[in-house]
Amino acid sequence: MSAKYQVEMVANYHCRCGEGPLWDERRGVLFWTDIPAGRLFRYDRASDHHEPIYRGDPVGGFTLQQGGSLLLFGADRISRMGDDGRVEVLIDGIDAEMDRFNDVIADPQGRVYAGTMAKDPQRGGLYRVDTDGSVRCLFRGTGCANGMGFTADRRNFYWTCSTTRRIFRFDYDEDTGDLSNRVELIAVSQADGIPDGLTLDAEGNIWSARWGGFGVYKFSPTGQQLDKIDLPVEKVSSAMFGGADLDELYLTTAGGKDGSDTADGALFRVKLDVPGVVEFRSRVLMS
């Protein structure tokens, strides 16, 4: 491991594909999912308590709604889960060709950008879900749409194509939600694994989890690699800042098996000297 970083295991549910860590700054808790197992977990930072809170259909990604509920993106549908655990389907029949939704992110206006996975590597893509519940396909051409983020000035948007092992930058129009001028920012060699989920810190740097790469990589806004945090497991799937001061980087991993004594599939935490930023909340179908 990188000598200057202390990597700590927070919880180990032996997730087959731990994903989508999301920090709730109001309640001081972190949520994450085990996609193929159809499980969702919650970790309370103050009490150090973690527990499963959902078991059902696979959840590829999710956002926090402005009111505090979770907006779940599954296989061709979007649902809402309240604090009581009840799940209500809001939007169904979006794209019959998708395998499922994957990473998602809310924008400053409460819209959600939602990537999809598809068996046909050209049929996956990126959708935008507007606050009125309307859904628009922005583009196709990937088998696995992945990590996303917005720059602090709200002028650019990052999107990861795991299929081609690249991270792209778009111009982003906050008023309309439109994306334009796609530019390749980071290309990852096959030997170095696959770029997966990502998050941004307060200095605008990109932290990109590396599936098959035993760690998370730090890049400058111009795409220059600045650092790497090594993890003891191969499949690092996503990253999210959390903690009271937003200076703890939480990392989900995959490859776990029930009954195993390995760390594959565990949730990890690393204390950093730079904080992250609070994620935007969705406002889909909120009156």
- Locate tokens 């740097």: which residue? 205
What does the DSSP assignment read for 87-152? EEEEEE-S-TT-SEEEEEEE-TTS-EEEEEE-SSTTTEEEEEE-TTS-EEEEEEEESBEEEEEE-T
- The active-site residue out of 196, 245, 258, 261 is 196
CB 236 within 8 A of CB 210: yes
Cβ-Cβ contacts under 8 Å for 16 (sequence gap 6 or more): 34, 35, 36, 37, 254, 255, 256, 257, 265
Question: CB within 8 A of 175, min separation 6: which ones?
Answer: none
Query: Token digits for 79?
Result: 């649902």
CB distance 218 to 127 below 8 Å: no
What amino acid occupies position 10?
Answer: V
Using CB atoms within 10 Å of the CB of residue 4, give its burial: 0 to 12 exposed, 13 to 18 middle, 19+ buried.
exposed
Contacts of residue 23, Cβ cutoff 8 Å, sequence gap at least 6: 29, 30, 240, 241, 242, 243, 246, 250, 278, 279
Burial of residue 123, with CB atoms counted within 10 A of its CB: 0-12 exposed, 13-18 middle, 19 or more buried: middle
Is 196 a residue of the active site? yes
Active site residues: 196
